[in-house]
Structure 1
Amino acid sequence: MSIVAPAANPFLCSSPSLSTPHPTRRFALQCLPNRTSHKPLLLKRSIRAPRASPSSSSSSATEESQPPQSEAEEEGDLYEVELEKPYGLKFMKGSDRATYIDAIAPGSNADRSGKFTVGDKVIATSAVFGTEIWPAAEYGRTMYTIRQRIGPLLMKMEKRYGKLPDVADLTEKEIIRAERNSGVVSDRVREIQMQNYLRKKQQKEQRQNDLREGLKLYRSGKYEDALEKFESILGSKPEPDEMSVASYNVACCYSKLNQVQAALSALEDAMKAGYDDFKTIRNDPDLATVRASEEFELLLKKFDESFINENAINAIKSLFGFNKK
């Protein structure tokens, strides 16, 4: 099932009738690794062995167990972590199209590792399957690899200690806040505001372009390439309606690729973001693979209140014998 975006808002979709032979696709996001361009990358574990010998005194052992000042971690240092699903990481796309950590879920596998900080950059990851390590490509391809990984995920990261990729924006916000608090709005603040407006406008236009390209690729049956475009939308701080439609299209692409778990995850993201066309979800031919799974109905029941209410009404009718003939 495809979604046609109204002219007033190209990110809001209305589903065509089921008689439409092959409707236009919604937005989908997620990228595939270009296997021909990825070369295995051997990683060196960044684990230091303790230096204290058995004969060392307790005081010297304490001193030796601490890394020298020159070896202390600094911004730009590399580290490795192996994680099991669910990872508990949320990612964002930087202006360089690379992948950065946007948030770490408290108590998650990533949080318990004690390694990650917000802003850290993904340098390489395990391949989709096997023991190869793939250098991180642009955001969409990296996200595809992470979502599709079979088995534990090894990640090679660059430490940034909370430094987000768009540092200039943070600095500008601080300038604006400081001047507003002083009661003065200078030409510099107005210039920053205009730059921010133009930047956001450009980002929105890019998301719209990614959407159009993704839909075109989807209609051509190039689901992996469509995923890359849709993933770019999700990684660039989309608005809620953009996120819901992009996530829905991600689910459709994964369903077409027979990747059921990834499709279910994307479908859940779509509904969390506000996608509530449950009739379309239950009938969309592009989600046929997902609907065949046992988890599909369980997932939908978490969000479809009309379905829950209908079941409750039927239960009451049965209790009082209204359904008996």
Structure 2
Amino acid sequence: MIYTVTFNPALDYVVHMSQDLAIGMTNRSDAEEIYFGGKGINVSNVLRELDLPTTALGFIAGFTGKALDEGVAASGITTDFIKLPEGNTRINVKIKAADETEINGQGPKIPDECQKALFKKLDQLKEGDTLVLAGSIPSSLPSDVYERILERLDGKGIRFVVDAIKDLLLNVLKYHPFLIKPNKQELGEMFGVTIDSDDDTVLYAKKLQEKGARNVLISMAGDGSLLVTEDGQILRQGVCKGKVKNSVGAGDSMVAGFIAGYEKSGGDYKVALNLGTACGGATAFSDGLAKKDLIDELYKTLN
């Protein structure tokens, strides 16, 4: 089973406007949508499109949390969220006009007893399961919570996938995560350098492997991606061709596609990289997250 953790999920309220946003004035939308957001939930959604079952873990609160739980479950994803005693799951407002503007909510406080309840749920994972940890840590959780989780589950034969930045990522490498996915800028920031070439990318990706990472996937926006595998392969892939409509969730989609490609191919890293690229592109070219038909179409265009 694949488990995803979203510490601070959200209802994403997307507002479309044909005119520019006028600050200090009343603005009217042309259309609106509501999505159930959060990096782990995004991964679960795309894995569902690829016919891989997941269980979504994390924290919810209040009437917005109830709506999120029901919405995610109705989409075909198994949910096992922990209900917080106070507050409401946050609402993120995303305004799509001439420029994209986002207002992200802070989210509810997570008390110690609820953190412990999550740990107990994670204790049930068994050998062969995959755990996806993605995104930032709410201020009410300890900053080393990723590290605590991986330390707790270390040695159980669980495949860890971590999509995080800087110390949050560096501090868990000693637990040998199966996959990490920094982008090129984040890779440079971790080592205090500027990444100018593929050779630089490979050099510093290998340094992350020396610290414990098994497979390092570096996303490079319009320049595609580069994968350094634990068996010594260096794989390069460009981006899919299409019109970019959406910047939200493309990285999460790439992670989901990589996991699915690896699982379905029996461990073929080229298939994993290509399916991850197709999923990232399918989200970038859509109003919401990637759908199977477009994923399949884009996958066929990749060598």
TM-score (norm 2): 0.27
**More strand by proportion, 1 or 2?**
2
Of structures 1 and 2, the larger Rg is shown by 1
The structure showing larger relative contact order (alpha-carbon pairs under 8 Å, at least 6 residues apart) is: 1
TM-score (norm 1): 0.26
